[in-house]
Amino acid sequence: MTGVQNGFPLGPQPGVTYPIQVLYCGNCSLPIEYCEYYPEYEKCKLWLERNMPSEFERVLKLGEKEDGEGGGGEEEKKRQKRGGKGIMKARKKEDGPKQVCVSRAPRGKKKSVTVVTGLSTFDIDLKVASKFFGTKFACGSSVTGDDEIVIQGDVKDELFDIIPEKWPEIDEDSIEDLGDQKR
């Protein structure tokens, strides 16, 4: 019983074997006919050539047909990139001095916050560290900026003991006291 509803055919189509087998790329995890839309298409081609040579031949022939039909004389097809966060680029870490800086900044008349910077140079996750400080001191703690944690209250003196205890790779000599700072 094959019919048409809203312009789409219903039921099994003639010439199609069911269930439909979909082949996925081991590099980008997309179906292989969509690899060309992945930003690192060349790596997908290499994986396909090594692992599925027959499918690689078929994809290459399809690619040559498409280039031949609408080729406006361009040597390389320009890709439009959409979506923004398809591949996260790793941040480059500075090879500067590994130093944790602790300072106190006034907040209002009688209140203050403690600012900790430099933990990311030791490859410490700032969100985890912020959560640890918040529970340890029973106060608010948040990550502000690239490498800065703000802890509510004046807990600067306690940090000199707690940071090396929690993260042994940071010794007490690596922690610098900047005193009172303005934010």
Per residue in 16-44, pLDDT tens? Answer: 888 888 888 888 888 888 888 888 888 88
Which residue type is seen at 102?
Answer: V
Comparing 73 with 28, which gets the higher pLDDT? 28
Residue 75, pLDDT > 50, answer: no
Top-level class of domain 100-180: alpha beta
Residue 130, pLDDT > 80, answer: yes
- Per-residue confidence (pLDDT) for residue 77, from 0 to 100: 53
Distance separating the N- and C-terminal Cα atoms of the chain:
73
- Per-residue confidence (pLDDT) for residue 122, from 0 to 100: 85
Residue 144, pLDDT > 70, answer: yes
Residue 134, pLDDT > 90, answer: yes
Cα 29-30-34 angle, rounded to 5 deg: 150
Comparing 14 with 83, which gets the higher pLDDT? 14
- Per-residue confidence (pLDDT) for residue 141, from 0 to 100: 94
pTM of the complete model: 0.49
Q: 181, 105 in Cβ contact below 8 A?
A: yes
Residue 109, pLDDT > 90, answer: no
Q: 112, 95 in Cβ contact below 8 A?
A: no
Cα 162-112-147 angle, rounded to 5 deg: 55
d(CA 135, CA 155): 13
Residue 133, pLDDT > 70, answer: yes
d(CA 120, CA 145): 12
Domain ranges of the chain: 17-66, 100-180
Q: How many angstroms from the chain centroid is the CA of residue 149?
A: 21
Residue 96, pLDDT > 70, answer: no
- Per-residue confidence (pLDDT) for residue 62, from 0 to 100: 72
Q: 175, 102 in Cβ contact below 8 A?
A: yes
- Total Cβ atoms within 10 A of residue 159: 19
- 159-172 residue pLDDT tens: 888 988 888 888 88
Q: Choose among 99, 115, 102, 96: nearest CA to 171.
A: 99
d(CA 99, CA 170): 9
